[in-house]
């Protein structure tokens, strides 16, 4: 069956969410001719700096990762990392709604409500609001899983957890490109056995692939899909 995705909008709280969550699938779809856009809500990693208050502009890393994955259009907003809960949800919704209106995606990929990160939960909600029925072009919404956000949500007892019901099988080169894009984010990669290590990311691709008896895969939770 040929896929119906033609215009994909990936919505992320932080630069690297898109790569960790769906980098292999983005590379695969871009290779198939799908036009991919990325909307990132924050542009600093203040909470991760050693002093806890440093701010790093991530745009160049986001652009490099996007180029590796084949993303054609990037919109990075200036909200603060780990501070999306101080932004009114109307404002967050408006940012994603504007991107949906301008880009007219048929499909949205976004973060999961099962993630421990409040930023991820708020962005997931904003993407669902922007892509709600009767509001524009969106026919499908999927949530992606992120190592050290979705699995830590699970390990912290968040309910309901991530329940994949859609798998994208990947070639080695898609996973290689995902890892290459992750390296563009430099210090975001940790050493094994941290889940956010190259080996950890690959282990998840192998696990998700073996669930459906394919070599490698990324798993998604379909929020809604409308067939026409
Ligand atoms: Zn994130």
Among 82, 66, 85, which residue's Cα sits nearest to residue 74? Answer: 66
- Selected residue with higher pLDDT from 153 and 24: 24
Domain that holds residue 172: 7-222
CA of 14 to the centre of ligand 1 (A): 4
CA of 227 to the centre of ligand 1 (A): 30
User: Could you give the number of structural domains in the chain?
Assistant: 1
Report, as an integer, the average pLDDT of 196-203: 94
Are 220 and 164 a contacting pair, CB within 8 Å?
A: yes
* Residue 1 counted as domain residue: no
* Residue 204 counted as domain residue: yes
CA of 33 to the centre of ligand 1 (A): 27
Report, as an integer, the average pLDDT of 41-63: 68
Q: How many CB atoms lie within 10 A of CB 167?
A: 16
Give the tens place of pLDDT for each residue, 117-141.
999 999 999 999 999 998 789 999 9
Task: Pick the most confident of 86-95, 178-187, 206-215.
Answer: 206-215
Report, as an integer, the average pLDDT of 67-76: 97
CA of 45 to the centre of ligand 1 (A): 10
* Residue 159 counted as domain residue: yes
CA of 13 to the centre of ligand 1 (A): 5
pLDDT score for 188: 67
Q: Over pLDDT 70: what percentage of the chain?
A: 93
* Residue 215 counted as domain residue: yes
CA of 219 to the centre of ligand 1 (A): 17
CA of 2 to the centre of ligand 1 (A): 31
The token pair that represents 93 in the structure block = 């919704």
20, 189, 220 from 193: Cα distances, Å: 16, 11, 23
* Residue 227 counted as domain residue: no
pLDDT score for 132: 95
Report, as an integer, the average pLDDT of 10-18: 96
Are 175 and 218 a contacting pair, CB within 8 Å?
A: no
CA of 4 to the centre of ligand 1 (A): 28
CA of 71 to the centre of ligand 1 (A): 18
Identify the CATH number of the domain in which residue 207 sits. Answer: 3.40.50.10320
Give the tens place of pLDDT for each residue, 162-187.
999 999 999 999 999 999 999 998 86
pLDDT score for 45: 61
**pLDDT over threshold 50, residue 49:** no
Among 55, 70, 63, 7, which residue's Cα sits nearest to residue 35? Answer: 7
pLDDT score for 228: 81
* Residue 172 counted as domain residue: yes
* Residue 129 counted as domain residue: yes
Report, as an integer, the average pLDDT of 14-27: 97
pLDDT score for 189: 79
Strands 107-110 and 140-144 come out as parallel
CA of 206 to the centre of ligand 1 (A): 22
* Residue 106 counted as domain residue: yes
Among 27, 47, 44, 36, which residue's Cα sits nearest to residue 5? Answer: 36
């Amino acid at each position: 069956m040929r896929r119906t995705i033609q215009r994909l909008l990936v919505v992320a709280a932080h630069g690297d969410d898109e790569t960790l969550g769906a980098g292999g699938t983005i590379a695969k779809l871009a290779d198939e001719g799908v036009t991919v856009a990325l909307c990132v809500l924050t542009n600093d990693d203040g909470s991760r700096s050693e002093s806890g208050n440093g701010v790093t502009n991530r745009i160049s890393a986001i652009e490099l990762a996007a180029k590796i994955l084949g993303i054609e259009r990037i919109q990075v907003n200036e909200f603060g990392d780990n501070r999306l809960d101080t932004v009114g949800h109307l404002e967050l919704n408006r940012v994603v709604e504007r991107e949906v209106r301008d880009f007219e995606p048929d499909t949205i990929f976004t973060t999961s409500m099962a993630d421990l990160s409040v930023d991820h939960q708020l962005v997931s909600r904003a993407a669902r609001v922007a892509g709600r029925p009767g509001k524009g072009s969106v026919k499908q919404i999927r949530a992606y899983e992120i190592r050290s956000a979705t699995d830590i949500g699970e390990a912290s007892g968040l309910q309901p957890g991530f329940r994949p019901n859609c798998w994208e099988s990947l070639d080695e080169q898609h996973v290689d490109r995902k890892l290459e894009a992750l390296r563009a984010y430099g210090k975001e990669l940790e050493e094994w056995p941290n889940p956010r290590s190259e080996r950890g990311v690959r282990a998840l691709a192998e696990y998700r692939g073996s669930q459906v008896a394919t070599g490698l895969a990324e798993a998604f939770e379909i929020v809604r899909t409308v067939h026409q």
